């Protein structure tokens, strides 16, 4: 909670509240209509209430973007606003001498990043972090930004480069519908919810034509696909869109070939009667074709997907005798699934029902019939294994279209220079039932919030203090304690869950709850868990508290792949599955650890943590830009802004603190070296001054114009706040400083 802002108390005493009320009255009675305040740093006083009122007024006036210092706030219109995203408007922002003087827009952010690259100011690489809760508009925003770059970074200098840029543009745009078909699903909160995170890097060629950058490539890195959804969906939600697309959009011939008669019921296809605009199969096919996934390969993919749907219809009945395997309740489902996945039918059934165990010194192999629950788990695991490898979310290196140099998926992000990294991660999630997926998603959100806090709130203020500037510290919510609880060393939630996987000991959900609660009792971010009837623990995240259920957590974290399943898939006669599951001795040894193996267990959490750290390293080497998407209401209705819901989101992302620091701080930050390099041409105007023994290097000796510029830099503390018409004193300061410079 904010306590003090540059001397202005916004504390909790009655006097403070009274003066705040007066300020609020003054603000509401101000001359500028609220909806015309396009920068929240101009709101005075800056409180959650005044910020909300301003956003509400703008929303009512159909103005969806508002600057908040270093951040752009994007309100989801929940209705089509085509004129806001037209190519003409994109070009207008691109051509504007000062795009920041135009109305706030995601194109201003897009253009700023583009110009930053062209200016070659370090760090040249830019990133745009798009955040917000589920359904707030992150994917939409990223999509529009990709379109923006496709339009503006394709200006041709030669016919060939024009063609390249055009091809990349198409590829970038085509990757969207494909990734959304395979990675998005209808959830309680969003009809088109991304069930994965993605980091899109748009690469520029700055070497051939300096300062005239052409888009030469794109790389897309995806994170933590929620693959459990393939085999397990909430009754009110849906599976990934692609399953509905093939069932609704297949031709008569394809229906025959894929065994998908009209109206067929599949247990992994809940709510098929719900038709969404995302169900358009043709769009996905067309986009796949443009990505280089040819028609026969597409056919293989869709046939495999149909095979998974039939696999989901396999049910087992207990044989009543432990020594006997379970019985399949529907032989037809086994047969069709085997046929479509081109697997031998008997080995498929045997793999689902019988476990092989190695034991003893000689590692003898024993066969043990699985219980009904184990059979179900193996069936689900088989489906997840196939789905996660299918091209769609990831393009497989062994497949021909990967060889195209223009779209480089899963590329080591540090390798090539890139114009802008667009990060679209799943928003903070809190459902009635939260498990490992939500823990990872919320962990990622905590990390990104920390990146924002570290980059903007903490680093700026520390720098001001070091440089001896007048500054009274703005308090902000630092989420380090919560991150310590989740990922800290030596003991944290992640380490405790990983430890259970490593020890591989039988432990109940209640035991896991007790272990977490007793080992981490000292953490202020571990909530009280008195009332829950089910074993769980509560984490107090920066965006709210979430109860995580411990049942199944350890199993999900292990994400065990019985080696028999991989061996089965290696027997497939399908050309695509053969490529995706090659008989690879290395893979085999990975999946068959001997009982005594001391190698660290690669759990879901540890893999996720590693990829998150890799992502943050990339982000830290960039100039970040932030877009905060806000969801005006949870029903997805146009023209309805629910105050409480928006307030919670504003509070969770620390927007008020951001505005305070942006308003009072320096809007432009340039390193001394870059400054010297940039304005070196000024030297030509004046003869060199006698060398200054205190100057850092002979190159940076102070000539007359340098002294002038340095003086200007040190005096002109131009902040957004001081230029604000509501704050007369700030303006005065600027004028005085200018006078001093001009008479210097």
Ligand X SMILES: Nc1ncnc2c1ncn2[C@@H]1O[C@H](COP(=O)(O)OP(=O)(O)OP(=O)(O)O)[C@@H](O)[C@H]1O
CB of 103 to ligand X, least distance (A): 14
Alpha-carbon distance of 590 to 335, in angstroms, equals 30
133 is in an annotated binding site: yes
Q: Go through 39-48 and write b for each residue having 16 or more CB atoms within 10 A of its CB, e for each that does not.
A: bbbbbbbbbb
| Full DSSP string of 550-592 | -TTHHHHHH----HHHHHHHTT---HHHHHHS---HHHHHHH-
State in angstroms the smallest separation of the CB of 72 from ligand X: 12
For tokens 């001498």, the residue is: 97
CB-count exposure of residue 103 (10 Å: 0-12, 13-18, 19+): middle
- The CB-of-182 to ligand X minimum distance in angstroms stands at 14
Closest CB to ligand X among residues 81, 732: 81
Distance of alpha carbon 636 from alpha carbon 548, whole angstroms = 26
Rounded (10°) angle between helices 493-503 and 436-452: 140
Q: In angstroms, how far is the first alpha carbon of the chain from the final one?
A: 43
CB of 133 to ligand X, least distance (A): 7
Helix (H, G, I), strand (E, B) or coil at 720: coil
- Whole-angstrom CA distances from 372 to 192, 267, 318, 320 are 34, 17, 6, 10
Residue 134 in marked binding region: yes
424 versus 564: smaller Cβ distance to ligand X = 424
Q: Which of 559, 552, 547, 557 is nearest to 442 (CA)?
A: 547
Tokens of 625: 């830009």
The residues, ordered by sequence, that sit 6+ positions from 141 with a Cβ below 8 Å of its Cβ are 74, 106, 130, 424, 627, 629
- Closer of 45 and 135 to ligand X (Cβ): 135
Spatial CA neighbour of 186 closest among 274, 86, 304, 308: 274
Rounded Cα gap, residues 540 and 527, in angstroms: 6
Nearest approach in angstroms of CB 537 to ligand X is: 24
Nearer to ligand X, 629 or 659 (CB): 629
**Closest to ligand X by CB, 140 or 268:** 140
333 is in an annotated binding site: no
Q: How far is the CB of 136 from ligand X (least distance, A)?
A: 4
Pick 153 or 629: Cβ nearer ligand X: 629
Rounded CA separation 457/474 (Å): 8
Is 323 known as a binding-site position?
Answer: no
Phi, psi of 218 (to 5 degrees): -145, 145
Element counts in the chain: helices (H) and strands (E)? 28, 17
What is the rounded distance in angstroms from the CA atom of residue 718 to the CA atom of residue 723? 7
- Of 489, 413, 475, 456, the C-alpha closest to 201 is 413
Shortest spacing between CB 108 and ligand X, in angstroms = 15
Nearer Cβ to ligand X (128/565): 128
456: its two tokens? 């903007």
Q: Which is nearer to ligand X, 278 or 487 (CB)?
A: 278
Q: Which is nearer to ligand X, 203 or 649 (CB)?
A: 649
Q: For ligand X, give the closer residue by CB, 608 or 720.
A: 608
Residues binding ligand X (CB under 6 A): 76-78, 80-81, 132, 134-140, 190, 192-194, 426-427, 629
Q: How far is the CB of 81 from ligand X (least distance, A)?
A: 5
The 3 state secondary structure assigned to 692-714 is CCCCCCHHHCCCHHHHHHHHHHH
Rounded to an integer, what distance in angstroms lies between the CA atom of residue 266 and that of residue 399?
30
**Is position 69 annotated in a ligand binding site?**
no
Place of tokens 């109860």: 547
359: its two tokens: 């034991």
User: Rounded CA gap, 244 and 451, in Å?
Assistant: 38
Q: Residue 137, annotated ligand binder? A: yes
Closer by beta carbon to ligand X, 629 or else 646: 629
Supply the minimum distance, in Å, between the C-beta of residue 142 and ligand X.
Answer: 8
Tell me the backbone φ, ψ of residue 472, rounded to 5 degrees.
-105, 130
Nearest distance in Å: CB 441, ligand X: 9
Handedness of CA 654, 655, 658, 660 (dihedral sign): negative
Report the nearest approach of ligand X to the CB of residue 436 (Å). Answer: 18
- Was 111 annotated as part of a binding site? no
CA-angle at 291, arms to 290 and 292, nearest 5°: 90
DSSP secondary structure letter of residue 368: E
Q: In whole angstroms, how close is the CB of 185 to ligand X at the nearest point?
A: 9
CB nearer to ligand X: pick between 140 and 316: 140
Binding residues for ATP, by number, are: 132-139
Binding residues, by number, are: 132-139
């Amino acid at each position: 909670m904010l306590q003090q802002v540059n001397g202005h108390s916004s504390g909790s005493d009655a006097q403070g509240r009274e003066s705040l009320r007066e300020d609020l009255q003054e603000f509401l009675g101000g001359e500028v209509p609220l909806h015309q305040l396009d920068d929240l740093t101009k709101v005075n006083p800056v409180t959650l209430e005044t910020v909300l009122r301003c956003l509400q007024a703008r929303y009512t006036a159909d103005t969806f973007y508002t600057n908040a210092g270093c951040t752009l706030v994007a309100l989801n219109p929940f209705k089509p606003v085509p004129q806001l995203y037209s190519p003409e408007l994109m070009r207008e922002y691109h051509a504007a001498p000062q795009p920041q003087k135009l109305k706030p827009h995601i194109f201003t952010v897009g253009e700023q990043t583009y110009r930053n690259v062209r200016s070659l100011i370090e760090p040249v690489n830019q990133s745009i972090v798009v955040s917000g809760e589920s359904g707030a508009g992150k994917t939409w925003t990223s999509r529009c930004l990709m379109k923006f770059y496709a339009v503006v970074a394709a200006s041709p200098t030669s016919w060939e480069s024009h063609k390249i840029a055009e091809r990349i543009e198409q590829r970038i745009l085509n990757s969207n519908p494909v990734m959304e078909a395979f990675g998005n699903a209808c959830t309680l909160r969003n009809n088109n919810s991304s069930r994965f995170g993605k980091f899109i890097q748009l690469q520029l060629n700055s070497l051939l034509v300096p300062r005239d950058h052409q888009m030469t490539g794109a790389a897309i890195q995806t994170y933590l696909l929620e693959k459990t959804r393939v085999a397990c969906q909430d009754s009110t939600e849906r599976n990934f869109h692609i399953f509905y697309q093939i069932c609704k959009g297949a031709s008569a011939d394809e229906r025959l070939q894929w065994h998908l008669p009209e109206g067929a019921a599949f247990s992994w296809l809940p709510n098929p009667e719900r038709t969404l605009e995302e169900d358009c199969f043709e769009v996905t096919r067309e986009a796949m074709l443009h990505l280089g996934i040819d028609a026969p390969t597409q056919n293989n993919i869709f046939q495999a997907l149909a095979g998974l749907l039939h696999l989901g219809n396999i049910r087992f009945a207990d044989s009543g005798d432990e020594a006997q395997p379970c019985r399949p309740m529907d032989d037809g489902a086994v047969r069709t699934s085997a046929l479509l996945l081109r697997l031998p039918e008997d080995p498929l059934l045997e793999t689902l029902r019988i476990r092989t165990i190695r034991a003893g010194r000689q590692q003898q192999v024993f066969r043990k019939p699985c219980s009904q629950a184990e059979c179900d788990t193996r069936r689900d695991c088989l489906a997840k294994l196939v789905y996660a490898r299918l091209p769609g979310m990831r393009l497989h290196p062994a497949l021909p279209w990967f060889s195209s140099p223009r779209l480089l998926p899963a590329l080591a992000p540090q390798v090539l220079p890139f114009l802008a990294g667009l990060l679209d991660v799943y928003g903070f999630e809190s459902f009635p039932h939260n498990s490992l997926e939500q823990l990872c998603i919320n962990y990622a959100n905590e990390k990104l919030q920390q990146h924002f806090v570290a980059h903007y709130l903490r680093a700026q203020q520390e720098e001001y203090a070091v440089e001896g500037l007048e500054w009274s510290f703005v308090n902000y919510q630092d989420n380090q304690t919560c991150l310590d609880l989740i990922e800290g060393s030596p003991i944290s939630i992640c380490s405790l869950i990983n430890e259970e996987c490593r020890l591989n000991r039988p432990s109940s959900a209640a035991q896991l709850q007790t272990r977490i609660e007793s080992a981490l009792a000292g953490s202020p971010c571990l909530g009280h868990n008195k009332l829950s009837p089910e074993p769980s623990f509560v984490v107090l995240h920066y965006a709210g508290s979430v109860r995580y259920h411990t049942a199944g957590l350890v199993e999900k974290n292990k994400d065990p792949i019985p080696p028999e399943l991989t061996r089965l898939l290696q027997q497939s006669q399908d050309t695509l599955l053969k490529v995706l599951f090659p008989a690879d001795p290395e893979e085999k040894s990975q999946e068959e650890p001997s009982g005594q193996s001391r190698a660290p267990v690669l759990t879901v959490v540890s893999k996720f943590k590693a990829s998150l750290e890799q992502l943050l390293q990339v982000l830290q080497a960039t100039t970040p830009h932030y877009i905060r998407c806000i969801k005006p209401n949870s029903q997805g209705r146009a023209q309805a802004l629910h105050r409480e819901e928006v307030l919670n989101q504003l509070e969770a992302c620390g927007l008020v603190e951001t505005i305070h620091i942006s308003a009072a701080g320096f809007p432009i930050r340039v390193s001394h070296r870059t400054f010297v390099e940039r304005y070196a041409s000024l030297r030509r105007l004046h003869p060199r001054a006698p060398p200054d023994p205190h100057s850092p290097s002979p190159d940076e000796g102070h000539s007359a114009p340098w002294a002038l510029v340095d003086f200007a830099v040190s005096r002109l503390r131009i902040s957004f706040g001081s230029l604000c018409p509501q704050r007369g004193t700030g303006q005065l300061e600027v004028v005085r400083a200018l006078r001093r410079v001009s008479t210097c």
